[in-house]
Structure 1
């Protein structure tokens, strides 16, 4: 009997141990417990690439006596992180500010064109009729501290989309081919107002004619004396 009990005890113990092992294996399979993986020593997570307006430009120009701002906006955003696609140009001298709407970027992230300088106007013929720092009073253009006169001085320009970019901009200088301010005003007779009145010009012309006649007479008298 003792030998039988010993055998039974061994068999029962083996069954209990085997069941516990099977239960542990089963739990491991169910829970999917696996050793915690370790990252390789040279692994680094992807760094976000911020959008950029690098390469965008704003160039002042003059055409047919009209000051323009010619622009090209180019946004680089490989991870589509920008939250806007509408471009504007902000001009400021530190005290005054004006915002010029440029438009919506194309699907490729670019936008180009030109926009009038603040305070400038164009006539029906496409030529300039107004300029910053000038206004019409009594039918004549006169200088003023208004009408965006400050934009002709030291200013800062910023292209804004989200992100933004500061660019160098200054009022275009006048040339013989293109005026960036009023040309010489003409009088009713069509003569330059700065050249004198029609009466003074007629007197000057008469004096010139008289001098020419005297010169011709003197030459004639010399020739007669020689004969």
Structure 2
């Protein structure tokens, strides 16, 4: 009889253990390894104020803004840091106050762009410069459709936010030209300053071939005058005295 009771108790305990194991876990133990979902990023340029009405940050920091000369090509080097926006591209606009502006869209936040009107050749070296044009005979004269980028120009950087700054045209250096690579002025006219490719030949044409006939003519006149004076003096000496 005792054995029968013990067997019944053991069987009952086994059934209770099986039932407890089959029960669902509590709500707090659904996925003990899962972490809470991250809070969504809120940007000040999209949502200007927080829940209390305080303004969030939304600005564009220009960290590098350097006009440079690279291989005789004028360029603008820049680095911008947007705050309060997820955007990672910048649109750069050289603002023309009286005509079409020059726009570089979807640029990286750090980089370099050509100055408007600058043209590099096949080897990367500059062959044309803003504010100058080349005549059919190869000479350069001041004035073209990009006069507005010199001596300075306003440049707008847009990421949402945006910022506008004034930038000076990059100067030339002994190793890099941001102008036509010659310096001899043939026409002293502010509206048409002409440069030539060969300073030595220009100097020769201005001081040699054009003035040489004048020097020869002057020397001949002096010689003729001296000869006339000598003849008059000889005639006076030979005149008989009375």
| Pairwise TM-score range, normalised by the shorter structure | 0.5 to 0.7
Q: Distance in 2 between matches of 1:158 and 1:124?
A: 29
Name the CA shift for 1:69/1:154 in 2 (closer, same or farther; >3 Å). Answer: closer
SS in 2 for 1:89: strand
Give yes or no for contact 1:186–1:192 (8 Å, CA) kept in 2: no
Query: Which of the residues 59, 64, 76 maps onto 2:66?
Result: 59
Give yes or no for contact 1:134–1:142 (8 Å, CA) kept in 2: yes
Please tell me the root mean square deviation across aligned C-alpha atoms, in Å. 3.1
- Which stretches of structure 1, 4 residues or longer, exceed 6 Å deviation after superposition? none
Match of 1:163 in 2: 161
Q: Distance in 2 between matches of 1:154 and 1:104?
A: 22
- Report Cα offsets for 1:124-163 as digits up to 9, x if no partner: 2221100001123215243343231111134222211211
Q: How many residues align?
A: 148
Q: Distance in 1 between matches of 2:64 and 2:105?
A: 13
Q: Distance in 2 between matches of 1:57 and 1:168?
A: 13
Name the CA shift for 1:103/1:93 in 2 (closer, same or farther; >3 Å). Answer: closer
Match of 1:91 in 2: 94
Unaligned stretches of 5+ residues in structure 2: 1-50, 183-195, 213-242
Give yes or no for contact 2:139–2:197 (8 Å, CA) kept in 1: no
Unaligned stretches of 5+ residues in structure 1: 1-43, 106-110, 205-227
Q: Distance in 2 between matches of 1:138 and 1:186?
A: 13
Q: Distance in 2 between matches of 1:141 and 1:150?
A: 22
Match of 2:204 in 1: 196
TM-score (norm. length: structure 2): 0.52
Name the CA shift for 1:193/1:134 in 2 (closer, same or farther; >3 Å). Answer: farther
Deviation at 1:70, TM superposition (A): 0.8
Match of 2:144 in 1: 146
Q: Distance in 1 between matches of 2:67 and 2:75?
A: 6
Counterparts of residues 11-50 of structure 1 (less than 5 Å): 45=52, 47-50=54-57
Name the CA shift for 1:193/1:87 in 2 (closer, same or farther; >3 Å). Answer: farther
Could you say which structure has the greater relative contact order, defined with CA pairs below 8 angstroms and 6 or more residues apart?
A: 1
Q: Distance in 1 between matches of 2:138 and 2:120?
A: 16
